[in-house]
Amino acid sequence: MKVLWWKATILSLLVIMLVCLLFLKIVVGTKDDWVVIEEKYFPLKDGHDPLGIKSGEKLDPSQRVTTCAMKFDDGHTYSVDCDEYLDYNIGEKVRIVPIEKNQVKLRRK
């Protein structure tokens, strides 16, 4: 009878732990959501400000970056690696994974 009690106790602890983990997953959720690329900024020449591919506008001085950048539908503009993300298109859904303060990695579906 004592063995059955121990098994029931261990099983109930595991169930409580599973419920807590599911609660944390649902409430906290994932930090990186799916966003859509609205604009890509590339410098035309070395030393010049990055220009938007679609709009042709210069990148806002408060968001100035030394490399390429992308603007997303959530209103944020992040610096990205020019060579790595050259084949990403405007309007494409991506997931943002932060690396540093203004540097990110992008993930496709």
pLDDT in tens, 65-87: 567 888 888 888 888 887 888 88
State how far the Cα of 24 lies from the Cα of 26, in Å rounded to an integer.
5
Nearest to 52 by CA among 62, 63, 42, 37: 42
The owner of tokens 């709009």 is: 55
Burial class (CB in 10 A: 0-12, 13-18, 19+), 106: buried
Task: Report the pLDDT value the prediction gives residue 47, as an integer from 0 to 100.
Answer: 63
Task: Report the pLDDT value the prediction gives residue 100, as an integer from 0 to 100.
Answer: 73
Task: Report the pLDDT value the prediction gives residue 1, as an integer from 0 to 100.
Answer: 80
Kindly report the pTM of this predicted structure. Answer: 0.62
- pLDDT tens string 18-30: 999 988 877 765 5
